[in-house]
Amino acid sequence: MSFPEIIRQPWPWYVAGPLIGLTVPALLLIGNKSFGISSSLRHICAACVPANISFFNYNWKKEAWNLFFVAGIALGGFLATTFLADPSSIRVAPDTVVALRTFGIQDFSGLMPADLFAAANLFTLKGLFFFVIGGLLVGFGTRWAGGCTSGHAIMGLSNLQWPSLVATISFMAGGFAMTHLLLPLIFKLVN
């Protein structure tokens, strides 16, 4: 298999996981920096919103490296989807397809099911649940937990931080509860 073919294929967890994990010691060795993505939104707000809000009154310029890191992630995602896209269709586990079809989801052609995440759903009850309420809950949970899944599950656990273990277990429990308990109720409500 040639290099372009290797880079276009999904990588197995045992390759991609360690590469992501190596980000932590690399950031620590390069500049004693902590990995996390959600803090970049705070830095952007501190830089762009000239309000006298105590949460945003800090020297955000010391953390500007994080903004470049997030911009690099966005640029890398754009380059990967534009030039390195896997030509084969997205493979979804057959059990997942069966489970989602019971909720009325039929289109599995893209990265996210168009039945849920289409622009046409934005101003519907379905859009209210999945875009607005879901987004608010993710933002609230990230702020309440003091970081996002990448910050806690990758950086915090690698530093053996007890709060990150609690947060990661809570993220997983919340995901399981949402998937198996709340999601079926929401689909009954919006369909």
SS (H, E, C) 11-33: CCHHHHHHHHHCHHHHHHHHHCC
Q: Are 190 and 127 in contact (CB under 8 A)?
A: no
Q: Are 40 and 67 in contact (CB under 8 A)?
A: yes
pLDDT value of residue 128:
84
* Regions of the chain where pLDDT drops below 70: 1, 4
pTM of the model as a whole: 0.71
pLDDT value of residue 74:
92
pLDDT value of residue 61:
87
pLDDT value of residue 162:
92
Classify the C-alpha dihedral 11-73-129-120 as positive or negative.
Answer: negative
Residues 6+ apart with CB under 8 A from 23: 35, 154
pLDDT value of residue 95:
92
- In the chain, which ranges are E strands? none
DSSP structure class, residue 111? S
Q: How far apart are CA 112 and CA 35, in angstroms?
A: 26
The torsion defined by the Cα of 154, 156, 158 and 159, in degrees rounded to 10, comes to 160
